[in-house]
Amino acid sequence: MRIVIAGGHGRIALRLERLLAGRGDEVAGVVRRPAHAGDLLAAGAEPVVCDLESATVGDLVRHLESADAAVFAAGAGPGSGIGRKDTVDRGAAALFADAAEAAGVRRFVVVSSMGADREPPEGTDPVFAAYLRAKGAADADVRSRAGLDWTILRPGRLTDDPGTGLVRLAESTGRGEVTRDDVAAVLAALLAEPGTAGRTLELVGGDTPVAEAVKSVA
C-alpha cells in the first residue's frame, strides 16, 4: 500500500511510519517544516512539505492521488492556543478529508482523542476543552462522508513507555493509558483490515494482542 500521513513528524506518526515501512508499505508524511524531513527519511518515509493551515485541497490532492490510504495524525500540539486547535485539529482534518475524497482515496483513518464525543466537564482547562471540541467536530465531519471508508481511533492518555503489544480496543473501553508504540501498532493493523471501516474505537492498554484486538472489531 501507499499511505499518506498528515502530521508526519508527530510522535505517533513517526512510529507508524517505521512500522509501515518495515512491512513493505510505501509511506509519505506531510510536514510543515522542511527541517523535519531528515527524521521522516530516517523512519523510512517520504517527506512532503505542506502547511495544512494554508494549503488548498488541490495542494494536497497532488500528494494523495496515488495513495491507497490516508491517516490524519496532525495536531496543533502542546503550547498552541485555542485558535490553532480549531484550525489544525478540526480545520486541517476537514481539508485532508476533502482532498482524500477528491483524489479517490477511500480508506481514511483518524487519530482522535478519548472524550471527543462529549462536552468537556465543567472546570476543564479552556485550551484542552477547545481541543476536545475540535476533535469531536472533526470526527463528526469525517463520519458524515459517504466517500470515505473511515475508522476513527480514540486513544486514552498517551505515554512514551515501551509498547507491550497488548491493548483493549472497543467502542467504549473506559479511561486508561496507552503507549504511543501501541497506538502506532493498532493504526498499522487497522490500515490492513478494511473490515474496521465505519467504526469509532477507543484504545487503552489491555491484555489482548494487537492483531487479535483489531480482528475482533472488524
| Residues belonging to the active site | 131
3-state SS track over 8-45: CCCHHHHHHHHHHHHCCCEEEEEECCHHHHHHHHHHCC
Cell of 99: 482532498
Helix axes 93-103, 126-143, angle to 10 degrees: 20
Distance CA 152, CA 113 (A): 9
- Residue pair 54/35 in contact by the 8 Å Cβ criterion: no
What's the helix, strand, coil split of the chain in %, to 5?
Answer: 45, 25, 35
* DSSP state for residue 117 in the 8-state scheme: T
Is there a contact between 199 and 171 (Cβ–Cβ < 8 Å)? Answer: yes
Distance CA(31)–CA(42), nearest Å, equals 14
